[in-house]
């Protein structure tokens, strides 16, 4: 058995390929991470090398100590993951303190985890805490239509949430807590990681203005589905705006009726 043949790795590769085919991952754009379950870590027994050196993460995530993550490589093209997994993705283990990581599989030839590893790990840390360990996935994609909207709509969570909800009836059911917005920031460091993870306390979708989208989910399928749903909604909005704007829409009261029937809680702050 090879690591590439384990179900969770095959699933990660499939999702990566699907995201590439969506057009969200030009060149080395975007990066994914998956917090491996204890059962899956057992399957890695004998297939990984624990003797590598630790490297500082750059942020502190104590509640992720000793966890294993499957993660995209820095500078790696998501398009190439399916062609050569060992060169383009890897498994990183976090140390006792939650301050360093080491590569135990993949990312061969001195490759490193994504430059957004601090944002991924701080978001994982928050999500592990607020979901009682349920959420295991963080995806970052360069979602074309969401990015386009960040040049046109006010960079305000209330506006983005409401506009995206209105573009497809299922949206408020798929992301009932809404979407958070990070204003333009330099990517790749601790500052944007902190800002993103703060918003992850409330939201499963966090938009980086003029850059892309971060989502969190319980599984790779659910996180991918969330990215796809939000981005499709943004695509509809771009089309609607291009046709001169809305002539009719779903109203605040329509959303309240939907919430009742679908048993979701929609915060009133979005139903202005
Ligand atoms: O991996 O997407 O945000 C390249 C990026 C940085
Ligand atoms: Zn990016």
CA distance 180 to 188: 19
pLDDT score, position 223 = 99
- 75 alpha carbon – ligand 1 mean position (Å): 8
pLDDT band at 58 (very low <50, low <70, confident <90, very high): very high
Residue 72 beta carbon below 6 angstroms from any ligand 1 atom: no
Identify which ligand lies nearest to the alpha carbon of 75: 1
What digits encode the pLDDT tens for the residues 158-203?
999 999 999 999 999 999 999 999 999 999 999 999 999 999 999 9
What is the spatial distance between Cα 80 and Cα 78, in angstroms, rounded to a whole number? 5
What is the distance between the terminal CA atoms of the chain, rounded to a whole angstrom? 55
Superfamily, domain 3-270:
Class II aldolase/adducin N-terminal domain (3.40.225.10)
User: Can you give the pLDDT at residue 103?
Assistant: 98
Per the document, the length of the chain is 272
Does residue 31 line the site of ligand 1, with CB under 6 A?
Answer: yes
Query: Averaged over 89-100, what is the pLDDT?
Result: 98
Number of the ligand closest to the Cα of 193: 1
Residues within 5 Å of ion ligand 2 by Cβ?
Answer: 212
**Whole-prediction pTM:** 0.98
| Mean pLDDT value across the chain | 98
pLDDT computed for residue 83 by the predictor: 98
pLDDT digits (tens, 9 = 90+) for 109-147: 999 999 999 999 999 999 999 999 999 999 999 999 999
């Amino acid at each position: 058995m090879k690591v590439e043949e384990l179900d969770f790795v095959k699933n990660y590769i499939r999702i990566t390929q699907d995201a590439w085919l969506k057009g969200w991952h030009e060149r080395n754009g975007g990066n994914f991470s998956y917090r491996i379950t204890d059962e899956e870590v057992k399957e890695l027994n004998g297939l990984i090398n624990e003797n590598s050196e630790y490297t500082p993460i750059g942020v502190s995530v104590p509640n992720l100590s000793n966890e294993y993550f499957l993660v995209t490589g820095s500078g790696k093209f998501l398009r190439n993951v399916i062609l050569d997994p060992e060169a383009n993705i890897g498994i990183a283990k976090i140390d006792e303190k939650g301050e360093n990581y080491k590569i135990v599989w993949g990312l061969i030839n001195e490759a490193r985890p994504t430059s957004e590893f601090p944002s991924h790990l701080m978001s994982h840390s928050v999500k592990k805490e607020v979901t009682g360990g349920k959420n295991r996935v963080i995806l970052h994609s360069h979602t074309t239509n969401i990015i386009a909207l960040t040049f046109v709509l006010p960079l305000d969570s209330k506006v983005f949430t409401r506009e995206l909800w209105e573009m497809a009836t299922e949206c408020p059911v798929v992301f009932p807590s809404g979407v958070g917005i990070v204003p333009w920031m330099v990517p790749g460091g601790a500052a944007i990681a902190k800002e993103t993870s703060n918003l992850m306390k409330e939201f499963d979708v966090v938009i980086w203005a003029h850059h892309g989208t971060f989502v969190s989910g319980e599984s790779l399928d659910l996180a991918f589905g969330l990215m796809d749903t939000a981005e499709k909604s943004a695509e509809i909005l771009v089309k609607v705006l291009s046709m001169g704007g809305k002539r009719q829409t779903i109203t605040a009261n329509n959303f309240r009726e939907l919430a009742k029937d679908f048993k979701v809680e929609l915060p009133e702050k979005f139903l202005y």
